[in-house]
A and B are shown apart, each in its own frame.
Chain A
């Protein structure tokens, strides 16, 4: 049973929710749309298909304090950071980003469970939004994601000037409880049909991923074309930091003058210091670092997770790579049977 709300009353809904919970939504600031905390003055941009940074930051923030140390002489006091205890709603997540949460779960909720991530997952309600107008950089269809009917605690559709809600989980039922019931669900059905048609036209909608699996690990790893593919790579972290599934992190200490703040922050395997040790690094050139990123997404991760790729086809890397080198290049260049 769906619920509905006129689109122009959405701020009202947000206002009501934000009395008790934080509302995170796609918000425009300094010309760019990113997920941020909604306030009365926020410029809400539900029409923006892709936020620059993905939605993963709601559960796995770019920077997160984990523990604070106070040092006195030879003594150390350890003060672990608090885990999140407040409820929040992340609104307007697209199907691709919603899948990325499931992938992050595989990492952070596998034994041993990460307490900070787990608390955020527990307290967060994910409200997804169907993509009315997928773009040429989208290729979520390759990973079994339905942009017309995304997962999440609640799924929303904007059809005309009405927004429709369908609760999928307990959290979702609680979220939609006070909304009025939709008398007619046919606009949603029509929209879904329409989106499905558009999805068929995606230029990268049907990639051949044969050969990207644990069984072909050595074959993919030893492919001679990696160096050719990586040649233009700048070694920046753009792809990593906009990616919804990249989950590598660094742990660092900051000396505040009175204590030591240990925090973790997103890291990128594209950076030269990623694996640097006192005696050197096992990935000395950009070729190895580049290979690591794509091997992780397309081979190592599926090998450890029943064939599930660590890519959701959001296409952010296609849009943002300064030199236009991205996962499509890799899939097309290295896939087996690509002409078959």
Chain B
């Protein structure tokens, strides 16, 4: 598929109509994939394979506004939702981007391979559903579906919602109920839930990776970067600040979060941040009707909308979960 994409990009870039293409470049390790902007000469560095998990839509906010020309973006089906949402919020001009939807059969999380106890990985080859892993300590094998990114387990489908053209085949990789983990938490007592989140959030190092990678966090100046706001952006000086940061961040993207899963993917401490967002999505769906952010451009999201018959806030007392 990579070859097919590169060949098509060569055609597109040949006549100078486009400023370049946002894609993934080969990094230093066999599975490092770094987002980059390519021109026709650099295309041989472009990679598209099972390691291209990162969502490129947010890079378009900067890149597409920099040039007069159109820019080409490679987007996976799930990235399309973020792209649409950014267009809805007028952070990306849809007319300045030519979207190539690239096929996706689920992306691999190298961290999960490491967590499975496989050390010293020097190469990974795919053989159907089996990953053959070369390591400094001999060859290992692991099932591909066991090491898919968390976001792939909540796959939103194989359709590209915004593509100008599609290259390659996609496959849905959703594994069961994506709200299962949320429900497990809901079934706990308040005390247990608090302990769970306290344990997770106390690992937070306030690196801001979740915020900086999040396509919904596209504020030009974040409230946590404003020293006058009285809240701090770097030090987790106190338990409270971690909670504050993550509650406000999850809430700020409420209704706009497409559940792209980047926040959890990038977290160096493996905090399951998507469980906050997913709970909000579940609430919104249950209370205000099914809604998928980024399904199309121009949607009005549930928190900037209302009906006269909305439930009163006290509904959460009776909706379960409130043990």
Which residues of A approach B to under 8 Å, CB–CB? Answer: 29-32, 34, 49, 52-53, 62-63, 133-137, 198, 201-204, 228, 231-232, 234-238, 240-242, 250, 252, 254-255, 263, 265-268, 271-273, 318-320, 322-326, 328-329, 332
Instruction: Kindly state whether residue B236 has any CB partner on chain A within 8 Å.
Output: yes
In the complex, which residues of chain A have a beta carbon less than 8 angstroms from the beta carbon of B268? 52, 238, 241-242, 320
0 or 1 for each of B192-228: is its CB under 8 Å from A? (1 = yes) = 0000000110110111110111000000000001010
Q: Closest CB of chain A to B183's CB: distance in Å? A: 20
CB-CB under 8 A from B151, the residues of chain A are: none
> Across the interface, do B36 and A236 meet the contact criterion of CB distance under 8 Å?
no
Are A201's CB and B213's CB within 8 A?
no
Cα separation A238 to B136 with both chains bound (whole Å): 26
* Chain A positions within 8 Å of B135 at CB level: 136
Check if B120 is an interface residue, CB within 8 A of chain A: yes
Interface residues of B in 243-278 (CB under 8 A from A): 262, 265-266, 268-271
Binding site for A on B (CB under 8 A): 25, 27-29, 32-37, 54, 59, 111, 114, 119-122, 135-137, 199-200, 202-203, 205-209, 211-213, 225, 227, 230, 232-237, 262, 265-266, 268-271
Task: Tell me, in angstroms, the Cα distance from A282 to B35 when the chains sit together.
Answer: 26
Q: Which 9 A-B pairs have the closest CB atoms?
A: A265-B235, A322-B266, A324-B32, A236-B209, A232-B35, A234-B212, A237-B207, A30-B199, A320-B268
Are B36's CB and A32's CB within 8 A? no
In the complex where A231-B36, A272-B225 touch, is A237 in contact with B29 (Cβ < 8 A)? no
Chain A's nearest CB lies how many Å from the CB of B110?
Answer: 8
Decide: A268 and B35 in contact? CB cutoff 8 A.
no
7 further A-B contacts with Cβ under 8 Å, apart from A267-B234, A272-B225, A322-B209, are: A52-B268, A136-B120, A202-B136, A238-B266, A242-B268, A265-B235, A324-B29
Residues of A within 8 A of B237 (CB): 63, 254, 263, 265
Q: Is the CB of A198 within 8 A of B136?
A: yes
Instruction: Find the B residue at minimum CB distance from A202.
Output: B136
Q: Are A133 and B203 in contact (CB under 8 A)?
A: no
Distance (whole angstroms) from the CB of A267 to the closest CB of chain B: 6
- Smallest Cβ distance from A87 to chain B, in angstroms? 25
Q: Do A231 and B37 touch (CB < 8 A)? A: yes
Assembled-state Cα–Cα distance A52/B205 (Å): 10
Check if B235 sits within 8 Å of A30, measured CB to CB: no
The SS class assigned to the A binding surface is loop
Complex: how many Å from CA A250 to CA B232?
A: 11
Chain A residues with Cβ below 8 Å from B35 are 231-232, 323
Q: Give Cα A53 to B237, complex, Å.
A: 16
**Contact A133:B119 (CB < 8 A) given known A232-B35, A324-B29:** yes
Query: Are the C-beta atoms of B206 and A32 separated by less than 8 Å?
Result: no
- Chain B contacts for A320, CB-based, 8 A: 268
In the assembled complex, the Cα of A30 lies from the Cα of B137 at a distance in Å of 28
A237 to B29, CA, bound (A): 21
Selected A-B contacts with CB under 8 Å, 11 pairs:
A30-B203, A30-B270, A30-B271, A134-B136, A201-B136, A238-B268, A241-B207, A252-B235, A254-B232, A268-B234, A324-B33
Q: How far does the Cβ of A311 sit from chain B's closest Cβ, in whole Å?
A: 15
Q: Is the CB of A29 within 8 A of B54?
A: no
In the assembly, what is the distance between CA of A254 and CA of B234, in Å?
A: 13
A57, B205: Cα distance in complex, Å:
12
Closest to A263 in B: B237
A241, B89: Cα distance in complex, Å = 32
